[in-house]
Amino acid sequence: MTERIHFVGVKGSGMSALAQISARMEKAAITGSDVNESFFTDKLLAKAGIAVLPFSAANINNVDLVVASAAYTQDHPEIARAMEIGIPVLSYPEYLGRLMAKRRGISITGTHGKTTTTALVGSILLDAGLDPTIVVGSDVPTMGGNAYAGSGEFFLAESCEYRRHFLNYSPEFLVILNMELDHPDYFKDLADVIDAFQELAAKVPQQGKIIIWGDDANWAQIKSNAPIITYGFAAHNDYQAAAVSFAKGSATFELFYKGKYLGIFELGVSGRHNILNCLAAIALGVCLGVSPATMRESLRNFHGTKRRFEKLGECNGALIVDDYAHHPTEINATLEGARLAFPHHRIVAVFQPHTFTRTERLLDDFSQCFRYADEVVVAEIFASAREKGGSGIDAATLAEKICATGVDAKFLGDFQQIKDYLSPKLAKDDLVLTMGAGDIYKLGLNLVG
């Protein structure tokens, strides 16, 4: 009998990916529900033949399993109804763990770079003919969406550390990109974060592999029975990038493995952070038996994902780009990449802080991460549904602290104010970079208009 699975909050990036692959992996009949607001996943779900229903307790009638987005609690009418009538309810990470257990699991995790690296690895595995199943947190042009249901032996998934969700997975191969405090509403401190990554590393079997950024000051704290492979810019790493150069929209580097020269690689996106993502993907590809020639071609043809230095268009000749960067390290890396790729442009960063807890806890770090921008505009803080009550922090305070570092910064609040301020000033050789994990991309689309 065909299992009937209903997804609550199906428009979410991760949820929509699971819904798309479930029909094939589980041989299931899929239904989903969500709000009326438009999402980039609408087209992907429609293409997969998954209708999106308005939220209603009646949607739970005649289903066998409910998969619930982490955005919703037991008070949600559909989840409450399922629990009332005894229908099993799994969270997103619980259900993803169930699917991964059916294949040879590959987890891409870390505080930053998960989406891009998962997309890079997915592109490599597809080009190598390994036909993996893939779950990634954004729309990937080389994949045609944010999910791919393959018939091969590997299951590749972007794996988030928030609330230790990734401990629901049992990967054979684990990539740890970096370890920083990004969710202060859950983790007590950096030691707590590292402890979570250690718990996941301990699950990797002896025949598996762990690939980790060897320039991270904390990488040696990760212990495992599985072999650990390092990558980075420093010479002590197993995989090392050297002789790095950048052009508009691309990066080139020489690759070494334990001191042995492996040739020149080109990546279709710019930035030192993306070279690190590339090194992680190459190290994993070698573990999986992919040829260097295949990886070289895949990396050259990779041009990023949605909301990762995504070029939206122009306004008065100025280039408008959008990026998901919302943590100080990500912001600094993205702006550095923009400066390397566009050295002669005036860079205007429009930043929408994401969550009061992150902004307050990392306020000093946020004030220091805009040095590669010529001007910074700070929008209102985008609050999370997880946050309860007020906060002593506001976006205007952040703008003042950025100014104190010598960077021209101002607080302008809502998107219309920002557009009215920017539009008359923009000209050729300007680069506007909208940044944040909220809805700041709407401003970029409005500027392109």
pTM of the model: 0.85
Selection from 215, 316, 308, 301 nearest residue 265 by Cα:
301
User: How high is the pLDDT of residue 40?
Assistant: 83
Specify whether the backbone of 231 is left (phi greater than 0), alpha (psi in -120 to 50) or beta. Answer: beta
Nearest alpha carbon to residue 376 among 303, 436, 309? 436
- Quick check: 384 pLDDT over 80? no
Question: What digits encode the pLDDT tens for the residues 416-438?
Answer: 999 999 999 999 999 999 999 99
Give the number of other Cβ atoms within 10 Å of residue 144's Cβ. 11
Confidence class of residue 137 from pLDDT cuts 50, 70 and 90? confident
Span 55-85, pLDDT tens digits: 999 999 999 999 999 889 999 999 999 999 9
- At residue 385 the predicted structure's pLDDT band, cuts being 50, 70 and 90, is low
Render pLDDT for 232-273 as a digit per residue (tens, 0 to 9).
999 999 999 999 998 877 899 999 999 999 999 999 888 899
3-state secondary structure the chain: CCCEEEEECCCCHHHHHHHHHHHHHCCCEEEEECCCCCCCHHHHHHHCCCCEECCCHHHHCCCCEEEECCCCCCCCHHHHHHHHCCCCEEEHHHHHHHHHCCCEEEEEECCCCHHHHHHHHHHHHHHCCCCCEEEEEEEECCCCEEEECCCCCEEEEECCCHHHHHHHCCCCEEEECCCCCCCCCCCCCHHHHHHHHHHHHCCCCCCCEEEEECCCCCHHHCCCCCCEEEEECCCCCCEEEEEEEEECCEEEEEEEECCEEEEEEEECCCCHHHHHHHHHHHHHHHHCCCCHHHHHHHHHCCCCCCCCCEEEEEECCEEEEEECCCCHHHHHHHHHHHHHHCCCCEEEEEECCECHHHHHHCHHHHHCCCCCCCEEEEECCECCCCCCCCCCCCHHHHHHHHHCCCCEEEEEECHHHHHHHHCCCCCCCEEEEEECCCCCHHHHHHHHC
Give the tens place of pLDDT for each residue, 324-351.
Answer: 899 999 999 899 989 988 889 999 999 9
Domains of the chain: 4-90 (3.40.50.720), 103-300 (3.40.1190.10), 310-448 (3.90.190.20)
Query: Is the pLDDT reported for residue 221 higher than 60?
Result: yes
Q: How far apart are CA 388 and CA 390, in angstroms?
A: 7
